[in-house]
Structure 1
Amino acid sequence: MTDPNRLTLFYSPQTRATGMRVLLEELGAPYDLHVLNMKAGEQRQPAYLAINPLGKVPAIRRGDALVTEQVAITIYLADLFPGAGLAPSLDDPLRGPYLRWIAYYGSTFEPAVVDRSMQREPGPAEMSPYADYDTMLGALEAQLATGPYLLGDRFTAADVLWGIALNWTLNFGLVPKKDAFVRYAELVTARPAFRRVDLADAEMAAEHAAAVGG
């Protein structure tokens, strides 16, 4: 009998979904992968658009609960498995900063990085969700300087989100290789959970490319 509470992660390798798989591994959570070959356009087929009309991964399902968006999934999963200790409790003084930096990723960092990648001029600082690129990165650098993790000595789900994002953006030249960013990305990606998923992703990505003649 299928467990109605078992998690299903809608997934494609070497995408934003990678971080959510790493988080599941860090949590020790039981999950299944529903793999989409994005090189073959499977994320644009009606079956998946019924899951996420934007045709984006990740998405996660548990019973009747369906969650999309990295930020929401990060919060949801870490709270779902409190025994793993990756989310400060509601009465923990770190809960506010934890939520702040998770939200900062989606509402501030991502828009800035996309504008930078597309070589688009940001809007006026008073209208831009990230003020300006340098200010946005400066606030992050200052926070990481308190390290070793985002919230000091405590490793949380926020570090999975940010560590993998910085690793990716550093590799693609979208973020400058400042010591705080490089050190932090190396710290998070050296963890066994990331190494397991990264290896599996490389194999899966090669299979997907071969399936479409790439």
Structure 2
Amino acid sequence: MGMVFTLYGATGSGSVPVEATLRLIGLDYRVVEAPTWEGEAERDKVAAVNPMRQVPALVTPGGEVVTESAAILIWLTDAHPQARLSPTLDDPRRAQFLRWMSFIPASIYSMFWVRDEPSRLGGDDPKAQAEIQQRTLDRIAACWRMMDSQVTPGRFLLGEEMTVLDLSVAVASRWTPRRRRFYAEAPGMAEVVRRVDALPALQDFWAERFPFDDGWEG
């Protein structure tokens, strides 16, 4: 009792891979629901633990705060190697694991800060905002295409064992431009994300935290 993590996150957001990882490891946690894209009140929920007012933010049972999705996932899996959700330090897959775990937030996730509120860079000009949204969509698609050209999956992205990289890609590939475009741009990774979607251990979790509603593929 008392050894409970607190995760600031939201349904369908970048906190979903973190929550899935907590479940797969078997850690006790509670979620503070904070869809920060819905406005200041939601962002204010997170401000006390993350001055950037972004999710995910994880508070450990000891009160330490960890932010940034990739950092949280790497830290959790390194701290619980028995779950086998990341390559160990001496595993030959480790370098590529770190490469792609960094690539997703840096090159793809970051685009949504602009895309979700194009006025941040485009001001009040509707044409500029529309152009930003189209260009960020194309940039996300190009990044998936580049990643696909650089990985050679087995059952999962780094081989036969699933890692949190697979969870990250499975979630992020459901965001704009959504899965149909992802399948077209990244055919080599398509079967992997479908395999993650279908994992028996996560079926109840997906239904609760990122449901496969009608038309979800785009």
How high is the sequence identity, in percent, across the aligned residues? 27
Aligned residues: 191
The match for 2:188 is 180
The match for 2:159 is 152
Which of 19, 32, 35 matches 2:33?
Answer: 35
Tell me the alpha carbon deviations over residues 58-109 of structure 1, each in whole angstroms, 9 at most, x when there is no partner.
1101113111111111111111211101121111111111111101111223
The match for 1:68 is 67
Where structure 1 has 5 or more consecutive residues not aligned to the other structure, the ranges are 123-131, 204-214
The answer (yes or no) to whether the contact 2:141–2:177 under 8 Å persists in 1 is no
The match for 1:19 is 17
Tell me the alpha carbon deviations over residues 34-79 of structure 1, each in whole angstroms, 9 at most, x when there is no partner.
233655754232x521111222211101113111111111111111
CA RMSD of aligned residues (A): 3.0
* Distance of aligned partners of 1:48 and 1:111 in 2 relative to their CA distance in 1, 3 Å threshold: closer
Within 5 Å, give how 1:121-140 maps onto structure 2: 136-140=143-147
2 CA distance for matches of 1:67 and 1:55?
Answer: 13
How far residue 119 of structure 1 moved from its aligned partner, in angstroms, is 2.1
The match for 2:199 is 191
**Letter in structure 2 aligned against 1:157:** V
* Distance of aligned partners of 1:184 and 1:95 in 2 relative to their CA distance in 1, 3 Å threshold: same
Find the residue that maps to 2:173 and give its secondary structure: helix
Within 5 Å, give how 1:81-92 maps onto structure 2: 81-92=80-91
Higher relative contact order (CA 8 A, sep 6+): 1
Tell me the alpha carbon deviations over residues 122-157 of structure 1, each in whole angstroms, 9 at most, x when there is no partner.
9xxxxxxxxx76763333113444332111212111
Where structure 2 has 5 or more consecutive residues not aligned to the other structure, the ranges are 116-130, 212-218
What is the TM-score with the length of structure 2 in the denominator?
A: 0.73
What is the TM-score with the length of structure 1 in the denominator?
A: 0.74
Which of 171, 174, 179 matches 1:167?
Answer: 174
Which of 43, 54, 58 matches 1:56?
Answer: 54
1 CA distance for matches of 2:174 and 2:35?
Answer: 23
1 CA distance for matches of 2:176 and 2:152?
Answer: 19
1 CA distance for matches of 2:77 and 2:85?
Answer: 6
Would you say 1:200 and 2:213 are equivalent positions? no
**Letter in structure 2 aligned against 1:67:** V
* Distance of aligned partners of 1:196 and 1:170 in 2 relative to their CA distance in 1, 3 Å threshold: farther
**Letter in structure 1 aligned against 2:174:** N
Find the residue that maps to 1:34 and give its secondary structure: strand
* Distance of aligned partners of 1:20 and 1:182 in 2 relative to their CA distance in 1, 3 Å threshold: same
The match for 2:2 is 2
